[in-house]
């Protein structure tokens, strides 16, 4: 084990120094007892006796054991791990944005930014209004489904089922269940699209609230029947929900609102700057068509007599779903990203994300099985079907790590056995795509000529292959 792998508490001298917090805080113990019950007070906290420089080295080394887009290509399908311009980070850290508290008097600049961001998102998606409250994509889904539920309740119509294709992101059925719906799974056609006959049949049942759809879907395919699909749902009294987590391939090209969707969530932390992943804050705004506007969470921001203020006047709102204004810093980054790129820049995002994915797709299908062989959008899915010597998707993904690259998403979507889901994103250069192709081809060669090296990978990472199932079932968490 390298020195850097020790926990900070395992470093330094054996006898740990302790801090006497009572003395440090300069608080009378009886006063402290009033603030915090004695049972919750820690008498001392062992702090390792390490010089500052070693602490800095410890964390600096740990940061290098991690991988991010600043290190290299991060082709994690569906996750859109793209480079986020540092200017957006800088802007979100301006003191006017980050040193205010939501309990202060309403800040006109911040409210105006949120108001304008909503207008931009309306224009981009073809929706009539937005709430910026949801804190993530899945949270946006839950919000949207609660809106759908309330809409039907208000109309005294019993609609307790949601249709979701088998290619959907796992959060879709999970959110629908949480919102109180039962789920009908639609089996995709051999072309990876929605089966129109099955959709029509299910909608005719009468108790289906609508369809939840990602388009382009998790296979990276744009459903060519989208207008027919939304028409079938509407003709049968349902609503269409658009999972817009991956909006980058359609920015400025087409809009969910024009495809016939009534409600959409976006992942600002994927499409519109802000690094995705790592469990940090995100934002999953919800956009709706006019008829669903009264159900949006409150408060909303409105402009009245030249000032921006909060509005709580709707009697049909589903209520608040997040404290204060949501994850405001993420909204600032998205605003800055949209303003910096402008309409033409956003279109270029779409064009390059699709171009990059198709470049990889065409090059990689020479060696790897491509189950859905057609023009893709921002991502595509390979499989381990024809890989020799019994080598699996997991082996390939682990071997990729040895080449200093993060692996693609694996074994998802579930409809492709042994899926390798690849999304290069629009921010990768041709050189970096060519390097990825080189690595994938090299691994394919190894699969034929030196299969053991692939089966036992990774060899060049701080730790070797983990038993992922055991780690998930029996995690050992340090106290
Ligand atoms: C298609 C799709 N829908 C929904 C989500 C959920 O978003 P979040 O992780 O922010 O909850 C994701 C996340 O990657 C996604 O790819």
Residue nearest to atom 16 of ligand 1 (CA): 78
SS3 category, 218: coil
- The pLDDT, as a whole number, for residue 32 is 78
- Give the position, in ligand 1's atom list, of the atom nearest the Cα of 269: 10
On whether the CB atoms of residues 46 and 19 are closer than 8 A, the answer is no
CB-count exposure of residue 411 (10 Å: 0-12, 13-18, 19+) = middle
So what's the pLDDT on residue 294?
97
Instruction: Report the nearest atom of ligand 1 relative to the CA of 243.
Output: 3
Give the pLDDT confidence score for residue 477 in this predicted structure: 74
Quick check: 321 and 143 in contact, CB under 8 A? yes
The model's pLDDT over 385-439, given as tens digits with 9 standing for 90+, comes to 999 999 999 999 999 999 999 999 999 999 999 999 999 999 999 999 999 999 9
* Residue 112: alpha-carbon gap to chain centroid: 26
CATH number of 350-473: 3.90.1150.10
Domain boundaries, the chain: 3-65, 86-340, 350-473
Number of C-beta neighbours around residue 375 at 10 A: 13
The span from the CA of 383 to the CA of 368, in Å, is 7
C-beta of residue 280 within 8 angstroms of C-beta of residue 259: no
Beta bridge partners, 163, equal 184, 211
pLDDT score at 37: 85
Residues 6+ apart with CB under 8 A from 69: 81, 82, 83, 84, 275, 427
| C-alpha span between 61 and 462 (Å, rounded) | 11
Cα 171 to ligand 1 centroid, rounded to whole Å: 7
Q: Tell me if 137 CB under 6 Å of ligand 1.
A: yes
What pLDDT is attached to residue 103? 87
Ligand 1 neighbour 398 (Cβ under 6 A)? no
CA of 140 to the centre of ligand 1 (A): 10
Write the residue with the smallest CA distance to atom 7 of ligand 1: 137
Instruction: Give, in degrees to the nearest 5, the angle at Cα 79 between 78 and 84.
Output: 135
Q: How many CA atoms lie within 13 A of 419 on its CB side?
A: 22
Q: What confidence score (pLDDT) does residue 23 get? A: 59
* pLDDT of amino acid 1: 41
Cβ atoms within 10 A of the Cβ of 68, count? 14
CA 79 to ligand 1 centroid distance, Å: 7
Closest residue to atom 14 of ligand 1, CA basis: 79
- The ligand 1 atom at the shortest distance from the C-alpha of residue 214 is 1
Tell whether ligand 1 has an atom less than 6 A from the beta carbon of residue 245.
yes
Structure tokens at 272: 């519109």
Q: Whose CA is nearest to atom 9 of ligand 1?
A: 137
Q: Say if ligand 1 is within 6 A of residue 84 CB.
A: no
Atom of ligand 1 nearest to the CA of 168: 1
Threshold 0.85, pTM exceeds: yes
Residue to probe by mutation, ligand 1, list 75, 79, 80, 138, most atoms within 8 Å of CB:
138
Distance CA 343, CA 357 (A): 22
pLDDT digits (tens, 9 = 90+) for 136-175: 999 999 999 999 999 999 999 999 999 999 999 999 999 9
Token reading at 166: 């088998």
Which tokens in the block code for residue 97? 């944005």
User: How many angstroms does the Cα of residue 58 sit away from the middle of ligand 1?
Assistant: 33
Q: What is the pLDDT along the chain (479 residues), one digit of tens a residue?
A: 444 478 888 887 766 566 565 555 667 777 878 888 888 887 777 778 888 999 999 999 988 888 889 899 999 999 999 999 999 999 999 999 999 988 888 899 999 999 999 999 999 999 999 999 999 999 999 999 999 999 999 999 999 999 999 999 999 999 999 999 999 999 999 999 999 999 999 999 989 999 999 999 999 999 999 999 999 999 999 999 999 999 999 999 999 999 999 999 999 999 999 877 666 789 999 999 999 999 999 999 998 888 999 888 889 999 999 999 899 999 999 999 999 999 999 999 999 999 999 999 999 999 999 999 999 999 999 999 999 999 999 999 999 999 999 999 999 999 999 999 999 999 999 999 999 999 999 999 999 999 999 999 999 988 899 888 898 898 877 65
> CATH for 86-340?
3.40.640.10
pLDDT for 14: 62
pLDDT value at residue 2: 47
């Amino acid at each position: 084990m390298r020195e850097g792998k020790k926990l900070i508490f395992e470093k330094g001298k054996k006898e740990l120094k302790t801090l006497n917090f009572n003395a440090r805080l300069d608080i009378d113990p009886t006063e402290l007892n009033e603030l915090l019950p004695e049972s919750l007070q820690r008498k001392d906290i062992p702090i390792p006796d390490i010089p500052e420089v070693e602490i800095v080295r410890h964390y600096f080394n740990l940061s290098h054991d991690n991988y991010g887009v600043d290190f290299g290509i991060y082709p994690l399908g569906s996750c859109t791990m793209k480079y986020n311009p540092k200017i957006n980070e800088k802007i979100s850290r301006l003191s006017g944005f980050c040193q205010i508290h939501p309990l202060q008097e309403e800040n006109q600049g911040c409210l105006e930014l949120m108001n304008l961001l909503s207008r931009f998102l309306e224009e981009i998606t073809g929706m009539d209004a937005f709430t910026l409250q949801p804190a993530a994509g899945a949270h946006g889904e839950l919000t949207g489904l609660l809106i759908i539920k309330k809409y039907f309740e208000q109309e005294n119509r019993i609609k307790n089922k949601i249709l979701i294709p088998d290619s959907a992101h796992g959060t879709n059925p999970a959110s629908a269940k949480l919102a109180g719906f039962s789920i009908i799974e639609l089996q995709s056609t051999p072309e990876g699209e929605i089966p129109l006959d099955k959709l029509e049949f299910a909608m005719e049942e009468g108790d289906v609230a609508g369809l939840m759809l990602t388009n382009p879907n998790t296979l990276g395919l744009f459903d060519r029947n989208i207008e027919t699909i939304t028409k079938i749902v509407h003709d049968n009294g349902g609503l269409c929900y658009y999972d817009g987590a991956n909006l980058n391939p359609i920015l400025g090209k087409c809009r969910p609102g024009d495809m016939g969707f009534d409600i959409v969530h976006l992942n600002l932390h994927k499409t519109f700057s802000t690094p995705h992943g790592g469990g940090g804050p995100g934002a999953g705004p919800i956009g709706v068509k006019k008829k669903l506007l009264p159900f949006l969470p409150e408060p909303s921001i409105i402009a009245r007599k030249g000032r921006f203020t909060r509005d709580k006047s709707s009697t049909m709102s589903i209520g608040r779903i997040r404290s204060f204004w949501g994850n405001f810093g993420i909204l600032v980054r998205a605003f800055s990203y949209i303003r910096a790129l402008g309409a033409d820049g956003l279109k270029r995002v779409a064009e390059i994300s699709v171009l990059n994915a198709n470049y990889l797709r065409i090059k990689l299908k020479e060696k790897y099985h491509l189950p859905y062989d057609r023009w893709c959008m921002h991502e595509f899915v390979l499989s381990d079907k024809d890989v020799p010597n019994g080598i699996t998707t997991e082996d390939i993904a682990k071997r990729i790590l040895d080449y200093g690259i993060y692996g693609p998403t694996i074994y998802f979507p579930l409809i492709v056995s042994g899926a390798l889901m690849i999304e290069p994103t629009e921010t990768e250069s041709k050189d970096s795509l060519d390097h990825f192709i080189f690595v994938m081809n090299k691994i394919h060669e190894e699969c034929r000529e030196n299969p053991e090296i692939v089966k036992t990978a990774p060899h060049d990472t701080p730790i070797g292959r983990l038993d992922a199932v055991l780690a998930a079932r029996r995690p050992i968490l340090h106290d």
